[in-house]
Amino acid sequence: MPYIPNTGQTEAAMFADMGISGFDELIRNIPPGLRLEGDLGLEAGLSEWELESAAQALGELNRPAGRGLCFLGGGVYDHYIPKAVDFLAGRSEFYTAYTPYQAEVSQGTLQAMYEFQSMICALSGMDVANASMYDGGSALAEACSLALAATRKTRILLSGTVNPRFISVVRTYLQNRQAEIVLLPESNGITDLSRVPELIGDAACLVVQSPNYYGVLEDWRKASSSMGNSKALFIAVSDPLRLSVLAPPGECGADVYVGEGQMLGNELSFGGPYLGLLAVTDKYLRKLPGRISGKTVDSDGNEAYVLTLQTREQHIRRENATSNICTNQGLMALRAAIYMSLMGKENLPKIARLCFRKAHYAADRILESKKYSLPFGDQFLNEFVLKIESGRPAADLVLAAEKENIFIGAVQNVPDLLLLAFTEKRTRAEIDRLADFLNRA
């Protein structure tokens, strides 16, 4: 709220209505050992104007990526968002992050969810998608949970080149499910599949991301083939924009597709809220968590939209539910649906190709200095890893770049590797500026 409405007189009136003398009496039943003794350590109170000025000064310490040259990646990207996305998503009919339960008054929102699902299926080559998860990490965790339930196995084969943030969420989700998470090693920036045949027999699923965390393309067909005749599910992870130029997971043997949908019309927004994508083949339709919007006809034969397959949710099946997730990122999914409909089948791959050309131009320019190398080769689309040949810590370069209003990233837990991503927003002059900085630094 913009101001605190309760004066001392208001508080006194509330206490009187409650039949108590004050705050101390309100908390009298809380054991003394659980109460804070002494001062809170807060500074003296400020006036409204002073407080606003202090908050503004604190906020200005932030350096938003949008105010500089953003080459950050690792699963979240600075793509251009048409103004129509903000305008349409901001209409009061849609302005909610939650699922509507009253179909008779929510036809527009339910249709938008249905169209979103349909477009995710078209991109992924899967049969059915839900109406979104919280983010890519939770979507992957839900996919692994689905695999555990579908196969009754407890082993998860997880590629070590999957986004480490996703891996962290999976570990957190499954820590009380007695699941054994086996992290497959990497070899030259891609998944080492050599142990899959020996491990897959007792596995619920195999998870492979392409392009992976390093930006390198993986071979989904090879990964699927390595599973032999196993009953384990193959989970393919990829961002949806890249799927517009890649063979979709559905054509590569995947049972489940997982992705982060932030780049579909959603801002970087300091790390969220984002949008988890989850789609499956028909076989696993009834194990799909979250919300599904369905298309039907009403009693008069008119086209209508409803939430469907609700019996699997925890409010009906309780402990027997496949998942206890009970909401979705409706507003983010709406933005994605608007963005995809505006871009269409022609412009999505056009944007992906622009990112590809800009990334490869950048790699060529940076490598001219001989101070960096591509440790994992040039099989990338929009993002790649740079090795610093001098051995200087990547963290030092990240901080030095920030001082020049350039935002770059570092590979987690590897001190001499930078991670750079390129979108259609980055111009040749901006990429040259990045290359010049790296050469100087």
Please check whether residue 40 lies inside any domain of the structure.
no
> Lowest mean pLDDT: which of 150-164, 290-304, 366-380?
290-304
Residue 168 and residue 295 in one domain: yes
Rounded to whole angstroms, the Cα distance separating 154 from 148 reads: 6
Please check whether residue 24 lies inside any domain of the structure.
no
Per-residue pLDDT at 317: 66
pLDDT, tens digit (0-9, with 9 covering 90-100), for 98-146:
667 777 778 888 899 999 999 999 999 999 999 999 999 999 999 999 9
Q: How many structural domains are present in the chain?
A: 2
Rounded to whole angstroms, the Cα distance separating 377 from 308 reads: 46
pLDDT, tens digit (0-9, with 9 covering 90-100), for 176-231:
888 999 999 999 999 999 999 999 999 999 999 999 999 999 999 999 999 999 99
Please check whether residue 10 lies inside any domain of the structure.
no
Please check whether residue 414 lies inside any domain of the structure.
yes
Are residues 72 and 330 in contact, defined by beta-carbon separation less than 8 angstroms?
A: no
Per-residue pLDDT at 216: 98
CATH number at residue 290: 3.40.640.10
> Lowest mean pLDDT: which of 28-42, 80-94, 422-436?
28-42
Residue 283 and residue 397 in one domain: no
CATH number at residue 372: 3.90.1150.10
Residues facing 295 on adjacent strands: 305
Residue 256 and residue 144 in one domain: yes
3-class SS of residue 365:
helix
pLDDT, tens digit (0-9, with 9 covering 90-100), for 305-344:
988 876 455 566 666 677 878 778 889 999 999 999 999 9
Residue 331 and residue 360 in one domain: no
Residue 322 and residue 354 in one domain: no
Residue 313 token pair: 């949710």
Q: Which residue has the tokens 């998608």?
A: 129
CA dist 405 to 56, 71, 151, 433, Å? 20, 11, 50, 11
Residue 293 and residue 369 in one domain: no
Q: Over 232-265, what HEC string results?
A: CEEEEECCCCHHHCCCCHHHCCCCEEEEECCCCC
Instruction: Answer whether residue 254 shows pLDDT above 50.
Output: yes
DSSP calls for 298-331: -TTS-EEEEE--GGGSHHHHGGGSS-------HH
Residue 294 and residue 402 in one domain: no
Per-residue pLDDT at 311: 47
CA nearest to 88, candidates 341, 334, 345, 343:
334
Please check whether residue 37 lies inside any domain of the structure.
no
Q: What is the mean pLDDT of residues 407-430?
A: 96
Residue 87 and residue 75 in one domain: no
Instruction: Answer whether residue 151 shows pLDDT above 90.
Output: yes
Please check whether residue 89 lies inside any domain of the structure.
yes
Among the candidates 308, 338, 368, a domain finishes at 338
Higher pLDDT, 101 or 251: 251
Q: Which residues contact 207 (CB under 8 A, 6 or more apart)?
A: 140, 143, 144, 156, 157, 158, 159, 162, 235, 237
DSSP 1: -
Residue 351 and residue 435 in one domain: yes
Torsion of CA 186, 187, 191, 196, to 10 degrees: -90
Q: What is the mean pLDDT of residues 171-175?
A: 94
Q: Which residue has the tokens 């689905």?
A: 146
Q: What is the mean pLDDT of residues 340-359?
A: 97
Residue 73 and residue 116 in one domain: no
CA nearest to 361, candidates 388, 375, 380, 387:
380
Rounded to whole angstroms, the Cα distance separating 134 from 42 reads: 35
Are residues 157 and 297 in contact, defined by beta-carbon separation less than 8 angstroms?
A: no
Please check whether residue 218 lies inside any domain of the structure.
yes
Instruction: Answer whether residue 384 shows pLDDT above 70.
Output: yes
User: Which run of H or of E encompasses 385?
Assistant: strand 383-388
Give the residue numbers spanning the domain of 415: 67-79+345-440
Task: Tell me the backbone φ, ψ of residue 409, rounded to 5 degrees.
Answer: -120, 165
DSSP 218: P
DSSP calls for 33-74: GGSPPS---PPPP--HHHHHHHHHHHHTT---GGGSEE---T
For the chain, counts of helices (H) and of strands (E):
13, 17
Among the candidates 338, 367, 396, a domain finishes at 338
Residues facing 233 on adjacent strands: 205
Q: Which residues contact 367 (CB under 8 A, 6 or more apart)?
A: 373, 374
Residue 381 and residue 330 in one domain: no
Residue 307 and residue 435 in one domain: no
Please check whether residue 52 lies inside any domain of the structure.
no
Among the candidates 291, 317, 338, a domain finishes at 338
